[in-house]
Structure 1
Amino acid sequence: MPNLDRAPVVASEFAPVRVYLNTAAVGLIPARSARAARAALDEGVAGLPPDFFGPVDEARASYARIMGVGADRVAVGTSVVGYCALIAASLPAGAEVLTAEGDFSSLVNPFHVRGDLKVRTVPLERIPEEVGPGTALVAVSAVQSSDGRLADLPALRAAASAHGARICLDVSQAAGWLPLDAGEYDFTVTVTHKWLCGMFGLAFLTVPEDFGGLLPLSAGWVAGEDPWASCYGPVTELAGTARRFDEPQSVACVAGARSLALVEEVGVEAVRRHDLALADRFREGLLRLGHEPLPSPGSPIVSVPGLGGRRTALSAAGIEVSDRAGSLRAAFHLYNGPADVDRLLDALDR
């Protein structure tokens, strides 16, 4: 089994003092990101002029490589919900939006609050077959936050192509461990503070080369072709790339995006193999203990019905997991190892 947690590049970046199995909520921040964020804060304390754009473009380029698209198709913002609101605003009144039952609120709620869209919600497994000629957009997470189930992405792409529907794919629970090609979707959105091990307050949007009909409703001075010439009055010339959808960033938060380079160094496919091996080890151990996890094959997120109430006791014992609707949710990432799995299983056995 791959053992990334002992790889020098990983071991030098992470030193958790607890058994941390809660990446589906918040990923651990690597040392390089913490150093860069502290340095940015120290510069602010010292009154040194911040670099507003260099770190942003560095993060944009790194994320673009991870997602297999050009940097000119990546916008840098602050939240998934903000970018989903932008996509929702681009749809005509009465347009049908197809979503999955129980999907994350930041993805689906902007389409509901429009009030004049036809939002149709179906079980995740039925998403591809429910795409029809009247479907304008499918908004779905690649991986479900609550239980780790994966959407059938090849079937979804085929159905959307057959009916001329666009896809907005939330990759917040996928980017960083699941190899993806953002070019296969109209829009992808993600936060960075989960599997990409970034900080709160940083998000990415990928768009088609023609921008997919999005209006830059939140465009401010940083979205101008020449930002320093766009500080006052209307922005007369927006950036010719996805940067027209950029939002102003926290300097320290963007500095923390050095974690993206770490993901590139390790390799998403290597992370996937490592994470899934740990999740499968946990699933096998659960069955030996007489617990049946919810089905989520091929996912590093494992949810166990009826055990969510043990989260507090596990935390007191130095093991961090989540309680989601009564289910214990464990998420395994590159800084975890077999010993973490076994410690959780031992605790559950007690």
Structure 2
Amino acid sequence: MPSIRSQLFKFYFRVRNSRLPLDRPIPDQRETMDRRGVKLLPMAEEMLAAPVDAFGVPAEWIDLQHTRSNRAFLYLHGGGYFIGSCKSHRGFASHIARAGRCRLLLPEYRLAPEHTFPAALLDARAAYRFLLAQGFTHDRIVVGGESSGGGLALALLQTLRDEGMPMPAGAVLLSPWTDLLGTGHSVHSRAKQDPWLRPAGIPLLANRYRGSVPADHPLVSPLYGDLKGFPPLLIHAGNDEILRDDATRLEARARSAGVEVTSKIWMGMWHAFHAFYPWAPEAKLAHKEIGEWVVAKTEAVPDTERRIETGNDSISRRSYRRRSAQSGSATQSRTTAEDGGGGLDRRPDQRRQPELTPGR
């Protein structure tokens, strides 16, 4: 049974958000999310945020004052791939960093519709490589995010695995958006209970983000991807959100692929309820569980590297290379797109890159 405070929050936002049109101007929605994020969840006590350039991706370091943990969390914010920023998620991320006793890197990856797939994925991968270049070992790094950020984290894991790069110690997925086709039963069965999301919004947001690739491409809808070789996953979702089945189906597919999964469906809770810490008691408890899981996974360092060598014949890379060849796109990096420069090899770190093509 959810707490009375959580039930009141859910009722208020369900009534309030039901009156908002889905096609509001995007700049207005971005401004609203930034303002709401700052108001809803300020920075945790004794936490600091500092700007950093993560191989061409603007980002913020968030960590405790006067400390430098050797544990890192790459947090990818949610927002349907078209809204969200350091400003909107700084406070939320600071509480996760505090719970996990880690340094948290919060990148401002490029947003749709100005930058379609795979721009956000390229930026997420650059941020992960930045952590490695900063001296964090892969077994002391956790990746994750809420909503679309959770889906992006799963796409990042596929990319790292297919490149043969060192895999992180685990991934934290909070109400992850894993199926851009919106085929989960909960999309309609929980529509009246979800105070944030509406079924009609799924194809709208999916079409903004996916660019020229189909909605079931494994790097935009990780539910349809190959999950073998993934590190341990922590999956949270609310029972009263339309993306509940994105989480439950992900859990089932991950387990069938031999992945270690810790999963919890929070009864009576809504999409990404974790952002309501400390107002909702369930969110406070969820943050505690996230922190304990992060600490446990980054302290239990395995004897061998958690990395998978797959070569050039992996399904996700092969399918994307074929579609890229058909579209005739040219690979560009964030820092050279405007001047027509070369691809991702132009970033400061010269390690091997996947064959992904920005949707510019």
Q: TM-score, normalised by structure 1?
A: 0.30
Q: TM-score, normalised by structure 2?
A: 0.29
Report which structure shows greater RCO (CA 8 Å, sep ≥6).
1
- Over alpha carbons, which structure has the higher Rg? 1
